[in-house]
């Protein structure tokens, strides 16, 4: 049988690998090649190959035959690999590996669930950073029984069904031979203990649901939709396990005065035609409150006034972005006769020099979004 791959090579183990190494290697391969999860196009064929290698190397008599005489030795020795039906693969896996192939192992403590809560803050709060209480419902360790589930003054007992191991074994026959399958004990739920007098507060579960409030520190500069993780503030786990995490989704409410552009703040400023032409001192809102802005004479629509370091703080960094103020010039629409006459009088005296611009409107607008 030329071209047949070496069984040790298929499993990726050395020739003197012991039974446990062989089983571990096959198990790892089987996980990788499981048709439900594998993206290998030839997963089924490779699984079949690995299963055959495992079938031979896991039994001392076929392994010895193979070691001495190779593939030919097996064939003349009458060995035929089991031809199994792939539709029953899931059953084979659960028989071979127990129930824990892709999930939690029986009887092992599980981690508590993560919890997601939402909160929203104003843009100004996002700029300053803020501490915000968030309230949510979480599973916590029962304080009446300290989590063991027994009424105070009574004791838990060793489970008679599993002898305190939390696991029960059953034997199944599979294509790989007989396998011992381990499951969580149904009587004690895998804890190994039974509770003759369950705690009245938690009915023996050792855990209760509770409204909890946690103060969340929201750092300056946070962006809309970012999450803050508080490790271990999620649901309590069953005995021995680690608590889940709390995730706080932070929404930043828009501010009608400002638009946020990364770490910069952009706002607009309406100037009257005469303020723009003559210059003016005007109060403008910033994240730090109102500030007086000196508008130069001859300020053009679309011009940008940049307030350095008045934007949003850099999240977990140093400094702040800028506040860019984009100027809009209001053109009067409802003139009295006197105003009209005055403007016409002004226009008669105007020359090209009156309107000479140093740069165009578009380049100023572009500067606003740099």
> Toward Zn ion, which CB reaches closer, 188 or 304?
188
> Toward Zn ion, which CB reaches closer, 119 or 201?
201
**Nearest distance from residue 104's CB to Zn ion, in Å?**
17
**Nearest distance from residue 243's CB to Zn ion, in Å?**
17
Q: Is 14 helix (H, G, I), strand (E, B) or coil?
A: coil
| Contact residues for Zn ion, defined by CB under 5 A | 142, 144-145, 159, 161-162, 185, 187-188, 199, 201-202
- List CB contacts of 343: < 8 A, sequence separation 6 or more: 335
> Toward Zn ion, which CB reaches closer, 132 or 187?
187
Q: Are strands 280-286 and 289-295 parallel, antiparallel or unpaired?
A: antiparallel
**Nearest distance from residue 149's CB to Zn ion, in Å?**
6
User: In terms of Cα–Cα distance, which of 63, 44, 43 is closest to 53?
Assistant: 63
- Triad 347, 349, 350: Cα angle to 5°: 65
Give the E-state strand segments of the chain in sequence order.
Answer: 115-122, 130-141, 157-158, 167-174, 177-184, 193-194, 207-218, 226-230, 246-253, 259-261, 264-272, 280-286, 289-295, 304-307, 323-330
> Toward Zn ion, which CB reaches closer, 17 or 106?
106
**Nearest distance from residue 112's CB to Zn ion, in Å?**
16
Partners of 122 in beta bridges: 253
> Toward Zn ion, which CB reaches closer, 195 or 307?
195
How far apart, in whole angstroms, are the C-alpha atoms of residue 74 and residue 60?
13
**Nearest distance from residue 91's CB to Zn ion, in Å?**
25
**Nearest distance from residue 168's CB to Zn ion, in Å?**
7
User: In terms of Cα–Cα distance, which of 331, 319, 307, 326 is closest to 257?
Assistant: 326
* Torsion of Cα atoms, 345 then 349 then 353 then 357, to 10°: 0
User: In terms of Cα–Cα distance, which of 213, 216, 254, 212 is closest to 130?
Assistant: 216
> Toward Zn ion, which CB reaches closer, 27 or 108?
108
> Toward Zn ion, which CB reaches closer, 192 or 313?
192
**Nearest distance from residue 35's CB to Zn ion, in Å?**
34
DSSP state of 165: S
């Amino acid at each position: 049988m030329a071209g047949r791959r070496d069984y040790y090579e298929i499993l990726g183990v050395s020739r003197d690998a012991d039974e446990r190494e062989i089983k571990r290697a096959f198990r790892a391969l089987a996980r990788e090649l499981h048709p439900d999860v594998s993206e290998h196009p030839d997963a089924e064929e490779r699984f079949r190959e690995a299963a055959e290698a495992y079938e031979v190397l896991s039994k001392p008599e076929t392994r010895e035959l193979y070691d001495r005489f190779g593939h030919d030795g097996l064939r003349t020795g009458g060995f035929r690999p089991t031809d199994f039906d792939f539709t029953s693969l899931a059953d084979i896996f659960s028989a071979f590996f127990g129930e824990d192939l892709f999930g939690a192992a029986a009887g092992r403590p599980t981690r508590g669930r993560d919890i997601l809560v939402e909160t929203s803050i104003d843009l100004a709060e996002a700029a300053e950073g803020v501490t915000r209480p968030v309230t949510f419902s979480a599973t916590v360790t029962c304080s009446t029984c300290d989590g063991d589930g027994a009424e105070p003054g009574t004791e838990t007992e060793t489970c008679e069904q599993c002898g305190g191991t939390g696991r029960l074994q059953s034997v199944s026959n599979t294509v790989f031979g007989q396998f011992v399958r381990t499951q969580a004990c149904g009587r004690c739920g895998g804890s190994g203990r039974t509770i003759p007098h369950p705690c009245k507060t938690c009915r023996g579960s050792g855990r209760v649901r509770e409204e909890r409030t946690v103060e969340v520190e929201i750092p300056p500069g946070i962006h809309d939709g970012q999450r803050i993780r508080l490790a271990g503030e999620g649901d309590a786990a069953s005995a021995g396990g680690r608590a889940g995490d709390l995730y706080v989704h932070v929404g930043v409410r828009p501010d009608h005065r400002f638009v946020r552009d990364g770490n910069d703040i952009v706002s607009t400023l309406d100037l009257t035609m005469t303020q723009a032409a003559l210059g003016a001192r005007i109060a403008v809102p910033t994240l730090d409150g109102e500030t007086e802005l000196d508008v130069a004479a001859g300020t053009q629509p679309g011009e940008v006034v940049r307030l350095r370091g008045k934007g949003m703080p850099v999240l977990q960094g140093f400094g702040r972005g800028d506040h860019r103020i984009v100027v809009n010039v209001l053109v009067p629409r409802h003139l009295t006769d006197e105003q009209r006459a005055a403007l016409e009088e002004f226009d008669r005296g105007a020359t090209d020099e009156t309107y000479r611009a140093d740069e165009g409107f578009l380049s100023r607008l572009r500067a606003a979004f740099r």
